[in-house]
Amino acid sequence: MTYIASISTLYSDACITYATLSISYFLLSKNAPFSYQSALWKRVVFGLLAGVAVLYLSQDRLELTDKVHYSFAMIPMILVTFFGGGVSGLVSFLFAMALTGGFTVDNLFIASIVAPLLLSRVWLKKSHRTFYLTIGVIALYRIAVVWLLVDMSGLWPDVLLYQAVSALCLAICYHALNFKERHIYAYFAMRARATTDSLTHINNRASVDYQLMLQRAERRPCGLMILD
């Protein structure tokens, strides 16, 4: 069955990609916004969860020949590299490679795409322009490699549709995660403003608790009035 005839497969792959990364990003942002500067263990976990998604997505393929195919497997790797940095991207690739045969042709092809992302450190210059330039170059590269290996006559409709759907899936997941990222940053910024005195820049509750602790230690009487 071609990808043109398997819209349900495309839809399920896109949903699984977004759901896995979205839930992972939300859970890792419980105490602070998750980013490439987060604790190492968080970036590793983000990469491992993306690797699990990669393993699932690699089962659904657009078979061009007996040895050449396309899949959505690279999409989670690209996204976690943008949002989790090099550690997350590398972990997701190594995890998937370890469970899919090691140094196979497929994995080496994926490495040829992931490596430039890591070397160029795309997470440091994350922007819509950088993202769309990246997925455009990747799409052209994948088409060019397959064109050199396979007789493309009769395959162009499926190949072009696949690349278009892959780009659309990447774009939707990227913008959804970007919106979630901005929302989480806004939430923590508002919480910080709500609990920090604008004049002294001291956490209100922490300051009150500290003063009460001193009063108790010195056994001094005090009066406390709280205005909300």
pTM of the entire predicted model: 0.78
SS3 27: helix
Contact 50, 21 (CB under 8 A): yes
SS3 64: coil
Residue 1 pLDDT greater than 50, yes or no: no
DSSP state of 69: E
Residue 150 pLDDT greater than 80, yes or no: no
Residue 87 pLDDT greater than 70, yes or no: yes
At residue 163, the pLDDT reads 83
Residue 5 pLDDT greater than 50, yes or no: no
Burial of 91 (0-12, 13-18, 19+ CB in 10 A): buried
The CATH class for the domain spanning 7-182 reads mainly alpha
Contact 118, 90 (CB under 8 A): yes
pLDDT digits (tens, 9 = 90+) for 60-83: 777 666 666 777 788 899 999 999
Contact 77, 40 (CB under 8 A): no
